[in-house]
Chain A
Amino acid sequence: MYGSKFSCKNRNYLKKISIHKKFKKNLFLENFLFIDTKFCPFIILNLIHGLIVFNFAKKLKVMKLVSLVFLMIFSLHLIAQEKNKVVLSGYVKDSKSGEKLIGVTVYKLNSNIGVNTNEYGFYSLTLPKGSHTIVFSYIGYEKIQKDIQLESNTKLDVELTEEGVQSEEVVITDKKEDENIKSIEMSVNKLDIRFIQKIPALLGEVDIIRSIQLLPGVSTVGEGASGFNVRGGNVDQNLILLDEAPVFNSSHLFGFFSVFNPDAVKDVKLVKGGIPAIYGGRLSSLLDIRMKEGNNKKFEYKGGIGTIFSRFSVEGPILKEKASFIVAARRSYIDVLAKPFLNKDLREAQFYFYDLTAKFNYIVNEKNTLFLSGYFGRDVFGAGFKFNWGNATTTLRWNRIINPKLFLNLTAFYSNYDYKLKFTDDQGQGFDWNANIINYSIKPDFSWFLNEKHKIKLGLQSILFHMQPGNAKVTSEGRSINLSLKHRYGIESGIYVNHEWKISERLAMEYGLRFSSFHFIGKGDAYTFADTNIAVSRRLVSRQSYNTLELIQAYYNPEPRLSLKWDINETSSFKASYNRMAQYLHLVSNTAAPTPIDIWTISTNNLKPQIANQIAFGYFRNFANNTFETSIEIYYKTLQNLLDYVPNADLLLNEELEGDLLQGIGRAYGVELYVKKNKGKLTGWASYTLSRTERKTDGISKNEWFPTRFDRPHNLNTVLTYELNKRWSFSANFVYLAGTPATFPDSRVQIQGYVIPYNSTEKRNNFRIPAYHRLDLSATLSGKVKERKRLHSEWVFSVYNVYNRRNPFSIYFRSNKDNNLQTEAVRYSVIGSFVPAITYNFNF
């Protein structure tokens, strides 16, 4: 089910491909391409690889489908060559900061002709020659109407002004009022960073990932756990993109705070279904986080002092209206405060975490813009030992308006997640251990605004993975032993085409195909395991070494995507979508919550890629002049090749790890109800999800279906904000989640005086722990607004878990501390009390 296999042992990977023969003798390639995979050569490599995939694809029948699509696009292009039509295009920006606005609706007054600005604030609208009234509309901003006389292709950049910035009415979405009905997107939640900042937060720390957890269809394994689960998907099935670079661990402090600094974030979008062909590589969702570009008109400073973090950001122009930057930093400071109170043996202890986000953009000329953005974050702990982990990403982007209808975005990124553990004692004994996931990628993406009815996206992405599952060294008496695992390499590629088509006034369709491939390549070792009893570690039979670039295993997957929208009337629509996704990267973790030292592995000759198929249907309806948005969505999803583990699996520094892994199937289905109030003093949303997510793996739970750790059939979220006056606002949220399933024992086995719990049914997750519910409140007091005074400040008072409930994260079983024979069940609550907090924010 996982695409066709391809393998060519003992043959040079490059030799296989005719397109490369001329490169074969190129010393530069041979010496630097893989031996030194750092920075520069990867761009060339990935581009080449894109062509390889294209070439491979040709050999497969899939190519016929692709050429069919291209043929169709070509014919569409012919249709689009209508006479008497011209193109109006340009960027839409914020008037105060020059920040480009994503998703602004640009339309011809009293007509059905319109588009939205893309991720880079660009729009392109095809119109007949003549005079038109064009409206630029964006929630939270004053609408602009422009009368224009169009004789030829015209470029028009527009600046929108925020509605009464001070008496700011809270805005939930950045969409046009009835966007949810009119847009073809479904299973999508967009969050305005300004609304996220109003949600009561744990310890007052505004948190993007925690806000995501309040959306329908999203659950977690429990409070404080890293990541989130979307529609029955594992944590590793979310593609979290920060300015298009993937972030592998989205948490500070094991899972309590997310790594994104809200002051540097512009736009947050979660896509749970109907994922367009542009995106691939993860099964369950796309969390697209876009960073601010930085005010290009004047300098602006923002900051805050919270319970955990203190924050500061600066943004401003470098060259007025041409180049700007933003730098935002956060650091926890408990360690600084605690230092004077610690004994000298602990004064050396380190415990802090920080992140630094920076972006620079340069408008080269009318047609070209460059962006450079980076993120660097780390958690550091130590007291006699050193333990730290974090992500680093760098993204370089080039936006080019090739012609008024064709927009190119070329992205290249580098992303690295790593952790380090180091210990040395005074006798010279110690260990030093680190692991890395490094990837390099290049991704040209073309948006082609054919005409008002057709929009085409096509492009290519190639990612080079360099996995270092563990570099470890143990030292004693000056002697050291190397326990390092071999590095692994893989290349993931995707070519895609996506067509958005307004078929009629009422019917719209978006469909596309992503053809993805994965090549597990040398330099490295491939293992062969004996196929024995499924419930124990498989025995290593042979090991084969491969040279640099030699192909070990290849996988190919066509991933069709389809979305349909039918407007029932002005205020309601019906939508349907299907998507197939492939994932070549797996998080290896058998703990309740993922840990920072979990390793990721690429697909290998033993590990097949994960595959998901999802269908979803939705009914969307707005009431009272778009004051209330409502939707109901149902989905059904199947998953293949999900990881599970043999009992006693050894996941760290285990050379034969693959022998301990099992692959099974999964299914998830549910209904999501959603009501949102967009306007007025009271805004917010309520959502209820009824769902089920199950797994089935040979060798686990008697080979029967069992619920996952994050199967929470009932999930209710309410988020409300009330604007009392210009100074005070209040927010509340209430969540209710059915308890997580857990495996409980029924028997005791007594051995050597120990009482070991035993489950004679052998069924996993056979019980459910009590439900989780919680109420949080917050109040925001904004400082008085004075003319000419630049400083604005606010105080945020919040209480998390108001009624002091001890929500169980888990229930586990142990012997009483005085008597092993006496056993007890223990409820473990991650947050066992209410948590008040005060935060002070300022900007000038």
Chain B
Amino acid sequence: MKKNIIAFVFIGIFVISCEDVVDIKLQEGEKYLVIDAFLNNQIKPQSIRISYTAPYFSNSETPYENSAIVKVIDLTTQDTAHFVNKGNGVYEYIPDSLHPFFVVNHEYKLWVNLNGNEYEAQSRLNRTTVIDSFVYEKNEGNFGPKGKYFARFIAKDSLGGPDYYWFKSYHNGKFLSRPNQINLAVDGASGEGADGFYFPPNIAFGINPRDGLSVGDSLEVEIYSINRDTWIFLRQAQDEMTNGGLFARTPENIITNIRSKNNQKVLGFFNVGASSIRGVTIRE
């Protein structure tokens, strides 16, 4: 919120500042393994992608790795989910609807073996919360596209905690994937402490596409529970991907929760979370 306000004031005042895309030659960096494992408790195929870092301007999917062995172990029940390679570095597991593998409050371990090198990470499947309802309104004000609709959801943080959430928004089925659309909350606020609160407007309105909604559009919001270190990771990732302006932070390398048993450099993140989804269709 505090960052948004400053950004807002800044944009309002400084029409004089400008941004241009420029050509920069960058050196090629060392290549590191990346494990991208964000899983949820829905009865849908769950996938993990294993890839490598690539030159920053390579402008395509990063190179992938198909020869790893990938498992997730439920540390409460000691059950194992085997992830099967589907090509393009994607490893998939299809949960059983009668005996769901991913259960709230269980602790999970990711285990990857690549050419004898083992990598591990741990994550807890935290509870999530549910959306009560949506409210939307036609924009007639000074800011933003005129005549378009903007929606906010009404939901409350679960009592007790702290709880960490990632609000993922889907506009007509398409995930709003811009870095500045990463929408996070700790309890009912942007920082720790607001236990059991309704989510504030900056979060509740953070689900809209930039150009707003039209009549007939559908909007779905998934409240995905994350771990505390995932929250830190996503917040940092967002900062690093949108690090412009007068108050840019000193660039930092992204953190990881994946550890190598043989001291190999590895990047990526592992999170298991509970998802609750609710949607709305815009009517006149």
Contacts and interface: CB of A to CB of B under 8 A. Distances in A.
Contact of B12 (A351, A385, A423, A483): A351
A741 to B, nearest CB: 11
Contacts of B2: 421, 433, 597, 652
Nearest to A427: B198
B97 interface: no
Interface stretch (B26-34, B77-85, B215-223): B26-34
Given A743-B250, A747-B29, A823-B59, A351 B189 contact: no
Contacts of B251: 742-743, 745, 757, 759
Interface string A731-770: 0000000000011111111111111111111101000000
Question: Which of B30, B177, B247 has the most chain A CB atoms inside 10 A of its CB?
Answer: B247
A811 interface: yes
Interface string B24-66: 1011111110101010000000000101011111111110000
A253 interface: yes
Nearest to A817: B178
Range for the number of chain A residues in contact with chain B: 35 or more
A147 interface: no
B5 A421 contact: yes
Contact of A750 (B16, B29, B36): B36
A185 to B, nearest CB: 35
A810 interface: yes
A595 B196 CA distance: 31
B141 A381 contact: no
Interface residues of B, number: 82
A343 B17 CA distance: 24
A324 B233 CA distance: 61
A506 B166 CA distance: 73
A508 to B, nearest CB: 45
Contacts of B255: 647-648
Interface stretch (A61-69, A357-365, A685-693, A827-835): A827-835
A109 interface: no
Contacts of A342: 142
A346 B142 contact: yes
A824 interface: yes
B249 interface: yes
A748 B53 contact: yes
Interface in B159-213: 175, 177-179, 182, 188-189, 191, 193-198, 200-201
Contacts of A833: 16, 18
A755 B237 CA distance: 9
Contacts of A812: 243-244, 248
Contacts of B1: 423, 431
A620 interface: no
Nearest to A764: B250
A799 to B, nearest CB: 14
A648 B62 contact: no
B284 interface: no
13 contacts: A387-B5, A429-B198, A431-B200, A483-B191, A648-B235, A745-B26, A746-B26, A747-B55, A806-B18, A809-B246, A817-B178, A831-B16, A833-B18
Interface of A: 222, 224-225, 253-255, 342-343, 345-346, 351, 381, 383, 385, 387, 421, 423, 425, 427, 429-431, 433, 474, 476-477, 479, 481, 483, 590-593, 595, 597, 645, 647-648, 652-653, 709, 742-762, 764, 806, 809-815, 817, 820-833, 835
Given A423-B1, A749-B34, 18 more contacts: A254-B10, A345-B141, A481-B195, A483-B193, A747-B32, A749-B62, A749-B267, A751-B268, A754-B237, A755-B241, A760-B53, A812-B244, A820-B178, A821-B59, A823-B57, A826-B22, A827-B22, A831-B17
For the complex of A and B, the 10 pairs showing the least CB-CB separation, nearest first, are: A746-B29, A832-B18, A760-B29, A476-B197, A747-B29, A825-B24, A747-B53, A591-B247, A647-B252, A743-B251
